[in-house]
Amino acid sequence: MSETNDSLETIVQLSARHLTRHFTTRVHGRFATTKRVVRAVDDVSLDLSTGRVTAVVGESGSGKSVLARMLARIVKPSSGELSLEGTPIAVGARRTIDYASKVQLVLQDPFASNNPVHRVRHSLERPLLLHGANKGDVEELAKAALARVSLEPPERFLDRYPHELSGGQLQRVSIARALCVRPSVLLADEPISMLDVSVRLGILNLLRGLCDEEHLAVMYITHDIASARYLADETIVMYAGQIVERSQGTALVDAPTHPYTQLLIASVPNPSDPMSQAREKGEHSTFAIADVGCRFAPRCPYAMDVCRTTDPPDFQVGEGHTSRCWLHANEPEAVVEVALPERRREGETTKT
Amino acid sequence: MSIKRLDPAPMDEERDSPRLVMPPTTRSEFVLDVKNFSVDYGTGDQMVRAVNDVSLTLRRSTVLGVAGESGSGKSTFVYAMTRLLRAPGLISGGTVNLHTTTKGEIGEEVLDLVTASEKELRKIRWSHVAIVLQSALSALDPVVRIAREFDEVLKTHRPEMSKKQRRERAEALLATVGLNEDRLDRFPHELSGGQRQRVMIALALALDPELVIMDEPTTALDVVTQREIINELQDLRSRFDFAMIFITHDLSLLVELADEIVVMYAGSIVERAPANELYEAPRHPYTLGLLNSFPPMHGARQELTGIPGSPPDLSNLPIGCKFHPRCSYAMARCVHDEPPLVSVGDTGRSVACWLHVEGAERPVPVELSRRVTSSNTSDTGGGAS
């Protein structure tokens, strides 16, 4: 399944360039309060295209959810550009209803994202009315939306309350709610992590089907790299707000090049080969994120001198496969010796 | 319910000064022996049976994995077993025999936890049976420094220890789970999720228990942190030699960690088998479906089907086999009769499925005697269909 459908022309629907979001927090010290900047998302560029699933993999705190919220324009970026169907968007302005009808977000916990005091009918019909559907049509449209997510017969589900549905069914309602305004981009933020194991695949297959049959552009955010491998046409790994590795298809999972991706993959329970587990170097600590140099360097078993001083650019390691790691500089030994400022400039030019 | 809520225990004289290493024991094979254990929620018409006639045994120093989805009764089972379950939960039958040993004595004491008095329970809780709960954030008191959590346990159960000894003991315990001793003076909110879970594990080991129960200890954690905790647990187990019950919905994690696995569905055990056998050759269709619900990390990408339908509603369970509405192998018999848990093979495994009973209407499908994984064949659909 899920090899890219070549017969179908893919069109970039939503495009983000150098998207950045910094949060400023106040740290109360004994004598003074200082400001600390958390770089939640730093210079992230990506394209979401029709009929393709872009998977974003990362641990909690990697900035993947902030990225999704920026793409949905719930969180305003500190800097960067967005364009929808080729039209630049004023990212600082309020989200318009047109934008909301094109880009929809599905959240992690269906029990929290569906109002418990309203029936499913309300959750589906209200967005339709807000987006300008005729009052007479909304019931049919709501039923059609439920049918699209395989909740059949739709009449049975329209008058249910969220507590009467199982987690998997309710997540399908959330997806139906996002779909009923006919968006072209669906952002799914950990849509399966709260669900039972046996119904997760159903949701993944549903997303795949929406992509293949209705040519939606889907962004699938997850911490489960195995499910990303199952679903993705493009895979992106984030660490501390940066994209550290990205590849077309599953190249990144089958041949990881960034030490963080390797760590992630080695951490996945693998019953068929339990002895293959790599141990992380050094003591487990909080997420020590370096302010200077590569952000992964404090946890990286391969960290070199250059890693501690200079942030690596993206290096090409294969077709459509980049890795943000000095190990993949053309001459790794040379890197250490080359004067750093010069290398830095050179690195920046290769940045996309 | 937090582990801190346990009643203050009286002096615990049989078990003396702090130590972590148990002497090699030759007393009995089992540490826990559960028979026909049932738990209900509510009474009368509204009664829901959450755990239905569960029997199992746990050998000393082994790991028993309990796998199941939400609503399968796995958490209710361990809470009820340790008598931590609150109303409206009610134990409606069965026995839970805990075999406790005492340092320096050959014999063992057997205590039925179902009928034990609060006083007897106080004696075994924490010092013989410890629990690590799912959410470490809510299990630690947010307004108390970590040091006091340790201090309270040791003060109650080891009153002979001095303040300095308690502090040293707490530092040693933190060191065993790979945390720096300066964490003792932190508040829970200053620690990351993984560190908090480590503190919980250190607390559980504080009195050197024979049995540690882990209820989804890694579910809320990231995959890298989960790996660290699992490695840590393996390490601790080889050093301190305790038996463990590990509850999770992540069957692939259990296969790696556990010696033996029981799979629960709708309150009943549907399959029990040594971990590697369960992985390679599941016998119950539900187990097969669960194993096939995890996308593989290697091999060709192929469509997986998972398990159709929704998890069962305990207040409205189907007649016959509880799994038959979602089972692709269901036969006429499954709709009417509930299959008993019968043993299959000679490795002590058992399964509750009519397919494995003699005189079944159809032969056992090949995938229920040997699982086809994507690593050895890439051209077959790995699904349970």
For chain A positions 12-41, those within 8 Å of chain B (CB to CB) are none
Q: B224 in contact with A at a CB cutoff of 8 Å? A: yes
Between chain A and chain B, how many beta carbons pairs sit less than 8 Å apart?
Answer: 118
Six-digit token pair at B208?
Answer: 């050197």
Interface test with B, best of A1, A2, A171, A197 (most B CBs within 10 A): A197
DSSP 8-state assignment for residue B355: G
Integer Cα distance of A66 and B190 in angstroms: 23
Residue of A nearest to B302 (CA): A1
What pLDDT tens digit does each residue of chain B (385 aa) get?
444 433 434 444 444 433 334 444 456 688 999 999 999 998 888 888 999 999 999 998 899 999 988 888 888 898 899 898 888 888 998 999 998 887 666 677 888 999 989 988 988 888 899 998 877 667 888 999 999 999 999 998 889 999 999 999 999 999 888 888 888 999 988 888 888 888 999 999 999 899 999 988 888 788 888 888 888 888 898 888 899 999 998 888 898 899 999 999 999 999 999 998 999 889 999 999 998 888 888 878 888 888 888 888 888 889 999 999 999 888 888 999 999 998 887 788 999 999 888 777 777 787 777 776 544 443 333 333 3
Nearest C-alpha neighbor of A288 from the set A280, A299, A275: A299
Dist CA A307 CA A294 (whole Å): 5
Q: How many CA within 13 A on the CB side of residue B209?
A: 27
User: In this complex, do B305 and A201 lie within 8 Å of one another by their Cβ atoms?
Assistant: yes
**Are the C-beta atoms of residues B127 and B206 closer than 8 Å to each other?**
no
Short-list B137, B146, B216, CA closest to B182: B146
Q: Smallest CA–CA separation between A333 and chain B, in Å? A: 30
Report strand pairing: B243-248 vs B63-67.
Answer: parallel
Structure tokens at A319: 């077709």
Distances in Å between the alpha carbon of B35 and those of A93, B32, B58, B97? Answer: 65, 10, 12, 8
Q: Residues of A with CB below 8 A from B228's CB?
A: 280, 284
The one-letter amino acid code at B346 reads: D
Distances in Å between the Cα of A240 and the Cα atoms of A21, A166, A308, B17, B218 are: 12, 34, 15, 46, 22
Nearest chain A Cα distance for residue B314, angstroms: 12
**B369 DSSP 8-state letter:** T
